Amino acid sequence: MSNHEQHETAHQPVQRKEMSRRQFLSYTLGGTTAFMMGGAVLPMVRFAVDPLLVKKGEGTYVKVVEESKITNEPQDFKFKIHQVDGWYVSDPELSAWISKDANGNIFALSPVCKHLGCTIAWNTKGKSEYDCPCHDARYTKDGKNLAVAPKPLDEYEVKLENGFVYLGPVKPNTRTS
């Protein structure tokens, strides 16, 4: 490059790249649209994902009654459980027939009849059995099905701690097999 050309280049005016009106409008509208879409979409994403992030309740055992109150004769005890099902939170009341067996072990039976789901009760006919008022199913103290019902009464998981009986999930009867 000659000295003359160098001189010319050095003194050329700086070319500024100006934004056209069209570019300005598309940037502005694009940004605004993205902002509004984010505002609409993010809550939907959060709604879909949030139940997965919710911590489950601590443990599945519920304190029901003092151990000292349990006798050989079955007694009906009520208790509440805390349930979180997605967005639905509830505290339904359940009940259990709790007693001691011949070895002094505490066990708890579900009151739900294994025929069609009515609620059984202990010794309503003076026979030391569980009876169902709906179709006359009968069960032994261990929950063994004697008539009508096809299966034994379910059992609760039992945990004894600091003098209290805690009940956990319902499981198939382990005392009659």
Binding mask 133-162 for ligand FES (x = CB under 6 A): -xx-x----------x--------------
CA–CA dist 24, 42 (Å, integer): 27
For residue 135, give the nearest of 123, 157, 150 by alpha carbon.
150
What would the two tokens of residue 86 be? 């997605």
125 touches ligand FES (CB under 6 A) = no
**Among the listed residues 81, 106, 118, 146, the single contact to ligand FES using CB under 6 A:** 118
CA angle 130, 131, 136 (to 5 degrees): 150
Q: By CB under 6 A, which span of 19-27, 34-42, 75-83, 108-116 interacts with ligand FES?
A: 108-116
Name the residue nearer to ligand FES (CB basis): 59 or 117: 117
What would the two tokens of residue 70 be? 């349990």
DSSP SS3 for 47? helix
The answer to whether residues 136 and 142 touch, using CB atoms and an 8 Å cutoff, is: no
Residues near ligand FES (CB under 6 A), total: 10
106 touches ligand FES (CB under 6 A) = no
Residues of the shown chain interacting with ligand FES in the complex, contacts defined by CB under 6 A: 113, 115-118, 132, 134-135, 137, 148
